[in-house]
Amino acid sequence: MAVSLMNKHLSSSNSSVPAGVVTGADYRTLLEACRAGGYALPAVNVTSSSMVNAVLEAASQSHSDVIIQVSHSGARFYGGNGLENTHNAAVFGALSMAHHVHLLAQSYGVAVVLHTDHANRPLIPWLDDLITHSARHHERTGRPLFSSHMLDLSAEPLDANIDTCADMLKRLAPLDIGLEIELGITGGEEDGIGHEFDEDSTENSHLYTQPEDVLKAWQRLNPLGMLSIAASFGNVHGVYKPGNVKLHPEILKDSQELVQKTAKTDHNPLHLVFHGGSGSEIDKIRQAISYGVFKMNLDTDTQFAYAHKVAAFIMEHQEAFEHQICPKTGKPFKKIYDPRAWLRKGELGVAERVKESFEILGSHGKSIAR
């Protein structure tokens, strides 16, 4: 098989992109920069504009590009739990997040990949509606709303997974939107998809993707459009005590080498994704990056970072969250219980954790935005 058109395009693309949300050729350029530079980007799940702003702030201060993503349930919360129609709330929430990021990302001076996280087969209608909105946006502006979407059919037979992904990629490609797929099952549960992690099941073969499956999916899907693959190597959503999660990044290396040998491509032809990055060992993370991981998902750690800082502030000023006016002095507490005070603490907690991820993933100071 000849080297893909995507790889040929990458080799001739510019090394910088305009600041803001990247799609199409600019998205490809960013992927190639990660591969050539041997680093990865954190993909941070968001549930509110406050979380979005914290991630953009961290990226700007670290001069690093970043991936902002939203799950179906995260988008539903973004749209507002007061909306009774769950489907519409998730669609409108994701669209609101997308427009928010498009409006602000350029001002922060970094490149942003805008992505939707895990969507299994019951959530395909959610993706269908988002793609329809992107098509309308593309007609007006020449660009889609999202850089990429994820379709997670890893619990289904391989052929059914690939067939459905092929159909979706054919729809995404004309809009310059990429597709992330999952092969093998990431342990644990994230936003309603998956199951609680069984700490006695870490040797489950389903947690480890077979390189032959990666090759089969790549051969079928890569010619159709922009493809990234979340290949499972024992990774698990959430944080668990040391020793219960057994990562084997060498699976990624074997997959890259099989595709390279079979298709006669350049080094690390696959754009790989690391799910369940929170709490993972740094040496395993960096080993995975050396094998072509360009994206590491980050959710549990940033949730905790937000909550921890907010809780600390509330406990420090407990009286202000029980009374509007101090019972002892008669002075108002408004400046303390004002949401702008305590939400800001949460934003700073998230920004601190995201900055740490830039250092770990090697992307600090490497933004290609101009």
Give the least confident one: 170-179, 237-246, 309-318: 237-246
Instruction: With CA atoms as reference, report the closest residue to 145 among 88, 94, 197.
Output: 94
Write down all domains in the chain, each with its CATH number in brackets: 2-303 (3.20.20.70)
Whether the per-residue pLDDT at 195 is higher than 80: the answer is no
pLDDT grade for 14, boundaries at 50, 70 and 90: low
pLDDT in tens, 239-290: 444 444 578 889 999 999 999 999 999 999 999 999 876 667 899 899 999 9
Based on the residue annotation, tell me whether 117 is a catalytic residue of this protein.
yes
CA 1 vs. chain centroid, Å, equals: 30
pLDDT at 235: 67
pLDDT at 248: 85
Question: Is residue 327 left, alpha or beta, with left meaning phi > 0 and alpha meaning psi from -120 to 50?
Answer: alpha
- Average of per-residue pLDDT across 223-250: 75
Whether the per-residue pLDDT at 163 is higher than 80: the answer is yes
Q: Which residue has the tokens 């603490």?
A: 345
Both ends of the chain: CA-CA distance in Å? Answer: 36
pLDDT at 238: 52
**Catalytic-labelled residue, pool 26, 117, 254, 301:** 117
Token pair in block for residue 359: 């250092």
